[in-house]
């Protein structure tokens, strides 16, 4: 799974890296979102999606809330979506067909179970070339029907996970889907509903494109948030 990650690149950097045509107002407001070395579920995070043929950088809530959900709390259980079950899930089938996005990150954390130790060891994983990661994601729009049609719309997202590559398999049995740049256009194309072909993109990134190292257990607590969290403990 992917339950924590790092997002410190500015909207300007992300817009350039992901060839964005439009940066939504929410992403340009001071402090929104704040750079974070410990992004947690429910956080407001940047995503890249396509709208009317234009690539857009927007800010959404992490934890997908399906349009039919009764409350925002549903999103707490939907921070990740398994690639293998997207088409059989009521929550993810339609977003997979029509509402795909990229969730940019500067790296992510995963926790390794070590035999004989109660506390798991956190690891930080990033691209070897230092470029932002492109997580494959899905997005949705929800509003509280109890408040009527004028209720505020909440945009949310989830990160898709798959089997681990050789690097990740020693750390955890899942990893987020990381899209190579050559597949960004295909994934974001809102007119592309070929789920069979899209499903073939949901594979582990080559292990040699990533690097990983153990980090401090301070990352276990969401209140801790600073560059010291990604320093190597080797």
Task: Quote the distance between the C-alpha of residue 78 and its chain's center.
Answer: 11
Q: What is the DSSP letter of 175?
A: E
The residue among 217, 25, 34 whose CA lies nearest residue 118 is: 217
Q: Distance (Å, rounded) from C-alpha 171 to C-alpha 181?
A: 25
Q: Is 101 a residue of the active site?
A: no
The dihedral built from the CA positions of residue 51, 54, 60 and 65, taken in this order, carries a sign that is positive
Q: Is 110 a residue of the active site?
A: yes
- Among the listed residues 50, 101, 110, 157, the single catalytic one is 110
> 89 near 158, Cβ under 8 Å?
no
- Among the listed residues 2, 50, 101, 157, the single catalytic one is 2
The continuous run of DSSP H or E covering 81 comes out as: strand 80-82
Catalytic residues: 2, 110
């Amino acid at each position: 799974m992917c339950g924590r990650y790092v997002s410190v690149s500015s909207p300007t950097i992300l817009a350039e890296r992901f060839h964005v045509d439009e940066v939504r107002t929410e992403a340009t407001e001071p402090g929104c979102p704040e750079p974070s070395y410990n992004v947690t579920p429910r956080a407001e995070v940047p995503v890249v999606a396509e709208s009317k043929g234009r690539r857009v950088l927007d800010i959404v809530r992490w934890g997908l809330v399906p349009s039919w959900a009764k409350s925002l709390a549903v999103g707490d259980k939907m921070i990740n979506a398994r690639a293998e079950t997207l088409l059989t899930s009521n929550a993810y089938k339609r977003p997979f067909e029509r509402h795909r996005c990229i969730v940019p990150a500067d790296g992510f954390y995963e926790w390794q179970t070590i035999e004989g130790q109660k506390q798991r060891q956190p690891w930080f994983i990033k691209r070897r070339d230092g470029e932002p990661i492109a997580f494959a994601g899905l997005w949705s729009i929800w509003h509280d029907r109890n408040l009527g049609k004028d209720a505020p719309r909440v945009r949310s997202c989830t990160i898709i996970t798959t089997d681990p590559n050789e690097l990740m398999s020693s750390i955890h049995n899942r990893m987020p889907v990381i899209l190579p740049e050559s597949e960004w256009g295909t994934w974001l194309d809102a007119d592309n509903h070929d789920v069979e072909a899209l499903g073939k993109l949901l594979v582990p990134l080559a292990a040699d494109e990533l690097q990983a190292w153990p980090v401090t257990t301070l990352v276990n607590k969401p209140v801790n948030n600073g560059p010291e969290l990604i320093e190597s403990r080797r």
